[in-house]
Each structure stands twice: as C-alpha cells, then as structure tokens.
Amino acid sequence: MFRATCDSQDVCATCINDEFGSGVTATDFGRADILKEHTEAMRRQQARATRVGRNLRSSSAFSMLGRVRCALSLVLFLFCVFMFLTSDGDKLTFLNQLPYEYQLSISLGTALVSSLLLLPSFSRHKVVVSVFCLLMLALGATMPSFWHFRVAETTAYVPETDADNAEPDAAAANGRLVDDKELTLFYDLKKSRPRDVHYCVFVRCDNLQEDTAPGVISYGRMEQSVRNLIRSSLSRLLYGAEVEINNSQNGSGVIFTVASVPGEKQNITSLLSRYGNVYFSDAAEGIYELSLDPEKMKIGEDADTSKLLDPMHPSFAELNMRALRSLRSEVVRASAKRLADANVNRLRSDICNRLILTLNDPWDTDLDTYNVLIEALVVYAPEGDTRVTPLLWSYFQTNIRARRPVSNEIAVRLAKEAPDKMSGPVIKLWQMNPTAWNEVAGVLVASVEPYIIEQLQKKDLSVKQLTDCLNYLQPYGTVQSLPVLQPYLEHQDRAISRKVSNTIDAINGRSSSAQ
C-alpha cells in the first residue's frame, strides 16, 4: 500500500512506477551475474556430492578405498602362496613343521579373508570377481597337499623282504631312494667346510596311503614329534652337532643334515639302527638311508606307568632297564632316578651293566641326565669295579669344569678308588671351601696332610687359613702334625691357642686308641 501525502489525492500505478522505478534499477547493478555464479557453484557442489556418494556406495576399485581393499587382498594371498612354496622341502620352515590339518586351516583361512576383501572392491564385473574369489578359495583348500605333500611318483617303495616280487625302485640303481640332486645342500656344506665331519641321514616313511587321484600313492607324512625326537637325539649322540631338517622333494621321507660333528663316530650304522633298519650306507661320503621303526621310537613309553613307578612290582627293574634304551633323554633320566631311589635287590648286576652301556653315549649336551645316571650307577656298582672308576672320574671332571655340584658320595668313592687322581683337585677345592670338602679330604689324609703341615710352617699364615687347617687336622690329623702344632699353643689369640690345644688332644686320643 502506498500512502500519499494528501489523503484526498489518488495515486496511480504509473506515478508509483515513476517514483520508485529509478531507485530499483540503480540498486540492482550486478545481481544477475551473482545469481548466475551462485547457480553454477551449487551445480558443481551437487555433482561432487553425487560422485562421492556413488563411489562410497559402489566401492569401485578405482576409488581409494577400493584400491586399498584390492591391494591388501592380493598381498595377503600371495604371501600365503609364497610361504607354502618356500616350505616345499628345501629348508626347515614354520609351515612344514606343522601337521597337515593346521596347514590347511592357515591356507583356507587366508583365502577366505582375501576373497572377502576382494569381492566388494569392484562395482562392475561382479561375476568375474566372484569366480576369481572361488578360485582363490579352491586354491587355499588344496595348497598344502599341492605344494607340500603331493608325490609325483606312481610307484611306492617296497621293503627289502618283498624285493623278489617287487619292481625295481625307480629312485636309484644302487638302492638309494634319494638322488644327488636332492642332496645338493649337503654337498655344498661339505665343500664349504671340507675339514669338518658331516653326515646326511635320510629317514624313509613307510606308512603309505592312497591319494585322492586314482592310481597315485603318497608316502605317509612323518609326525612333527618324531622329527623333533630324531633331531634332538642325533644332536646328542653326535656330540651336540647341529642338525638341520629338510623334506625330500618326492615326499618319501625326511633328510637330516648333521653339520660339523665335534667327534667322529666310528660306527654310525650301529647308532642309526636305533631308529630303524639301515638299508644303504656310504661311509666315505657320510650318506645313510634307513627306514623308520615305530617300535624303536616308542621304547620306554610303551609300558604301563603304574608298573614303572611301583618298586614292588615284579617287572619294575626290567621295565625301567628297557626305558634306559629310550631315545628321549627325559625318559632315561626318569628311569635312572626311579632305579636309584628304589635300590632294588634283584638284577643288580644287570642294572649296573645297562647303566654302563647307557653312559657310553655322549651326554655332554644333557648334564642333568648324565648326573642322574652316574648317581644310579654308584648305587648298583660294587666297590672296586674297574669299569666304574673311569666313569666316575669323568663325571667329577665334567661337573667341576661346569661349576656344578658334585655328589659327596661319588667324591668319597673316587677318593678311595683313585687317590692319585683326586689328591690334587681335592686340595684346590678344599682351599676354596674347606667345610664342603673336609670329608673327601679326610679320605686322602696321606696326600692332604703333608700339604697342611707345609701351610702351618709359613710365617704369614692368616687367622682364617690357620683355622681351616685346624678344622681339618682335628678330625683327620696324625702324629706327624704334632711338632708343627706345638708353637701355636702360645698364639696371641686365645681362641686359636685353645683350638690348637683341642686339636693336639684329639690327635693324641686317636693315636692312643689305635695303639
């Protein structure tokens, strides 16, 4: 509404347009350009929003999120494939130590995660991507058997007992099952360390099973526990040598490479017969092949536990002697401990002989089992047995070098049976710890007392050294030490003079009672 200055005057539309039209035109300068620019900006913003929304909804492989998903999926799956390829019999890896079921779980789980990451990464070609994901899952399900346990051979190895009715072994003409190509690592080891002693032991797996493919027979897989047992026992029996495990390329068994044996074993064939039947040996090259005997691997573990632990059972001694032949050091240690604690009266000579045979093996890498075997031997070996003294002396030296405690019973027995060997070490040990070695030194009076007398003749003898000498002479001294003790009766330390007096009285008392 327009209100005129005079109420009585009518204002027409033309007048109003003339009055205000010029002002509107003046203030509307550039408005059209601003509206046009704003409209274009809104259109661009709407286009960006539409594009971003479409990318987020479709997860296109060309978007950043799609690229990350696709790359992560391929890297994860290819890494799994690489792990199985590298575990295919060349070296000991994490995968080829696992049972088949665990390997299948790893491969199938990795393929499933990779396919779930890859499937939503593409907005188009859903059918092609789905087929690719199914192939990925199929490969994950067959990967362990395809690369690790599949055997290309169509004929199985025939034991020697059936050799007359069997076809010749296709592996080698000289009876070997693995050829030189599979032993490349062993030959390279010999070339790199020509002065060291190396062995290559191939252990055949005879448990055969029919493969999924018709007419294809696969060799049974060796259990991880069995592989670890052979590896640890080989290392122990060959003086702590380093043992490496490799699967044979045809899946017929496991190759154990023993590098740099510290001491050469003369009868390696007899040693390897503990695992099974040695059907090929080349001592010059250090190559041996054998078939695994499950019964020998389970010696010491196949007996009833209640019989092994019950000293009153009639078969207690026999079963524990059998357990001493086990390849597991922990089984040997437990059996020797049970025999020592029981101290049975029957079959004592047989137990002693079995302990001596067991101690002929090198036990440098397992001093705990070695010490228990020696302690059991002392229980059953009669005094004066010439076979026992060298074993006890070796035990004494080994534990002293390793700074391990030595059984007082064994040390006393050695002092009685080998005084010439024990006098020097016992004097040094007595100097460092007189209290611990007093009893052993007492057995060696003829060798130790001259040393004590020589010490007492020194002028710069400390109070501690004098006290240690008196502690030895009071229970073990003879009349030979009386002249050197007399001057110490006037010692300025009254405690020392009283101790000297008591020592002289003790020696005189033993001398008079002996007369």
Whether residue 133 sits in one domain with residue 85: yes
484 occurs within a structural domain = yes
Q: Does residue 422 fall inside a structural domain?
A: no
117 shares its domain with 203: no
| 117 found inside a domain | yes
Q: Go through 373-404 and write b for each residue having 16 or more CB atoms within 10 A of its CB, e for each that does not.
A: bbbbbbbbbeeeeeebbebbbebbebbeeeee
Do both 124 and 238 map to the same domain? no
Name the domain boundary from 149, 179, 212: 149
pLDDT tens-digit map of 27-72? 555 677 788 888 888 888 888 887 766 655 544 445 677 778 888 8
One domain, residues 293 and 177: yes
Domains contained in the chain, number: 4
Same domain, yes or no: 175 and 275: yes
pLDDT beyond 70 at 174: no
Determine, yes or no, domain membership for 358.
no
SS (H, E, C) 236-262: HHCCCCEEEEEECCCCCEEEEEEECCC
Q: Residues 121-133: what's their mean pLDDT?
A: 76
| pLDDT tier, 304 (very low <50, low <70, confident <90, very high otherwise) | confident
232, pLDDT greater than 50: yes
Look at residue 325 and tell me if it is in a domain. no
Q: Are residues 23 and 84 in the same domain?
A: no
In a shared domain, residues 49 and 138: no
Q: Which pLDDT score, from 0 to 100, does residue 164 have?
A: 36
Q: What is the helix (H) or strand (E) element at residue 357, kind and residue range?
A: helix 348-359
In this predicted structure, which of 209-218, 372-381, 390-399 has the lowest mean pLDDT? Answer: 209-218
- pLDDT confidence tier of residue 298, bands split at 50, 70 and 90: confident
Average pLDDT over residues 384-412: 91
Asked if residues 218 and 149 have their Cβ atoms less than 8 Å apart, the reply is yes
Q: Which of helix, strand or coil describes residue 279?
A: strand
Average pLDDT along the chain = 79
Which of 245-249, 250-254, 260-264, 399-403: highest mean pLDDT? 399-403
Shared-domain flag, residues 226 and 200: yes
Predicted confidence at residue 169, as pLDDT, reads: 35
d(CA 146, CA 108): 13
162 vs 491: CA distance, rounded Å = 91
Is residue 172 scored above 60 in pLDDT?
Answer: no
Banded model confidence at residue 410, pLDDT cuts 50, 70, 90: very high
pLDDT digits (tens, 9 = 90+) for 87-124: 654 444 566 556 667 778 888 888 888 888 887 777 66
CA-CA-CA-CA dihedral for 330, 332, 335, 337, to nearest 10: -70
Q: Which pLDDT score is estimated for 445?
A: 86
- pLDDT exceeds 80 at position 265: no
Domain carrying residue 28? 13-58
Higher pLDDT, 454 or 125: 454
Q: Are residue 176 and residue 293 in the same domain, yes or no? A: yes
Structure tokens at 239: 């003086």
Give the pLDDT band of residue 162 (cuts 50, 70, 90): very low
Question: 280, 297, 314 — which closes off a domain?
Answer: 297
Is 185 among the domain residues? yes
User: Pick the residue with more confidence: 149 or 262?
Assistant: 262
What is the distance between the alpha carbons of residues 467 and 255, in angstroms, rounded to a whole number?
Answer: 63
* 429 belongs to a structural domain: no
Same domain assignment for residues 176 and 276: yes
Q: Are residues 231 and 250 in the same domain?
A: yes
In a domain, 305, yes or no: no
CATH number of the domain where residue 451 is located = 1.25.10
Q: What does residue 458 show for φ and ψ, rounded to 5 degrees?
A: -75, 145
Residues 180 and 275 in one domain: yes
